[in-house]
A and B are shown apart, each in its own frame.
Chain A
Amino acid sequence: DIQMTQSPSSLSASVGDRVTITCQASQDISNYLNWYQQKPGKAPKLLIYDASNLETGVPSRFSGSGSGTDFTFTISSLQPEDIATYYCQQYDNLLSFGGGTKVEIK
């Protein structure tokens, strides 16, 4: 099984701040890594696929990078509507999610 470790588990930042979340895989997963946003009471929404490809309609302030075992998700300028929990997910070997990062406004 491939384990996905996200950090931090939560963070607090101000509107306009740059926010970075990391996701580490327990083994090399190439670029088979996706990112989701989940707002309270809602289903997750795909933001980024294949580590760095922005899903259609997703604002350009969201971005992703990385390959192998280490990945980064960035919000370039945090907006109030970005308050959510973010999850990474690998698909190199079956499917598994990271533990999530809750993003709050300071």
Chain B
Amino acid sequence: QLQLQESGPGLVKPSETLSLTCTVSGGSISSSSYYWGWIRQPPGKGLEWIGSIYYSGSTYYNPSLKSRVTISVDTSKNQFSLKLSSVTAADTAVYYCARLPGYCSGGSCYSRLNWFDPWGQGTLVTVSS
């Protein structure tokens, strides 16, 4: 059963860079059928997609965050990571990682940015001095 686990500092100072890692277990991050993604949720608010990555390193980012976001992958560790620079209090949120499972048709499976399943449990990151 595929599981994802977020890890990283729970407290980041304003103007610094937030760094999180998602460790994938029970499956390979190098599967050609999957994308991997980051989503965040400020306290009491809705969900916001941050960005997604393929095992080859190909990335897609939310245009509203693109200038500050870098997502990378380490296939040797079965991990992918998020860096968000120049953080402010508005970046305080629960950060989730998740898989995007692609789709299968005619006996073959294809990667696609489609839906998130499964999700990690999430990790709260607070931006404060």
Query: Does residue A74 face the partner (Cβ distance < 8 Å to B)?
Result: no
Question: Does B49 contact A46, Cβ atoms closer than 8 Å?
Answer: no
8 interchain residue pairs of minimum CB distance: A43-B119, A46-B117, A95-B49, A97-B47, A34-B115, A100-B46, A99-B46, A91-B114
Query: Does residue B96 face the partner (Cβ distance < 8 Å to A)?
Result: yes
A28-87 residues at the B interface, CB under 8 angstroms: 32, 34, 36, 38, 42-46, 49, 55, 87
Query: Does residue B48 face the partner (Cβ distance < 8 Å to A)?
Result: yes
Query: Does residue B121 face the partner (Cβ distance < 8 Å to A)?
Result: yes
Interface size bracket, B side: 20 to 34
Question: Does A44 contact B115, Cβ atoms closer than 8 Å?
Answer: no
- Indicate which residue in A42, A87, A94, A97 contacts B60 across the interface (CB closer than 8 Å): A94
Contact with A along B13-45 (1 / 0, CB 8 A): 000000000000000000000000100000000
* Prevailing SS type, chain A contact patch: loop
With A1-B63, A43-B96, A43-B120 as contacts: A91 and B115 at CB distance below 8 Å: yes
Q: Please tell me the number of chain A residues within 8 Å of chain B, measured between CB atoms.
A: 22
The interface residues of chain A lying within 8 Å CB-to-CB of B114 are: 32, 34, 49, 91
- Indicate which residue in A36, A95, A97, A99 contacts B113 across the interface (CB closer than 8 Å): A95
A7 to chain B, nearest CB (A): 13
Query: Does residue B62 face the partner (Cβ distance < 8 Å to A)?
Result: yes
B86 to chain A, nearest CB (A): 21
Query: Does residue A22 face the partner (Cβ distance < 8 Å to B)?
Result: no
With A43-B121, A43-B122 as contacts: A96 and B49 at CB distance below 8 Å: yes
The interface residues of chain B lying within 8 Å CB-to-CB of A24 are: none
With both beta carbons as reference points, the residue of chain B lying nearest to A48 in the complex is identified as: B115
With both beta carbons as reference points, the residue of chain B lying nearest to A93 in the complex is identified as: B113
Question: Does B47 contact A87, Cβ atoms closer than 8 Å?
Answer: yes
* Subset of 9 A-B contacts with CB under 8 Å: A34-B114, A43-B121, A89-B116, A91-B112, A94-B62, A94-B63, A97-B46, A97-B49, A100-B47
The interface residues of chain B lying within 8 Å CB-to-CB of A100 are: 46-47
In the bound assembly, the distance between CA atoms of A49 and B115 in angstroms comes to 7
The interface residues of chain B lying within 8 Å CB-to-CB of A98 are: 46
B121 to chain A, nearest CB (A): 6
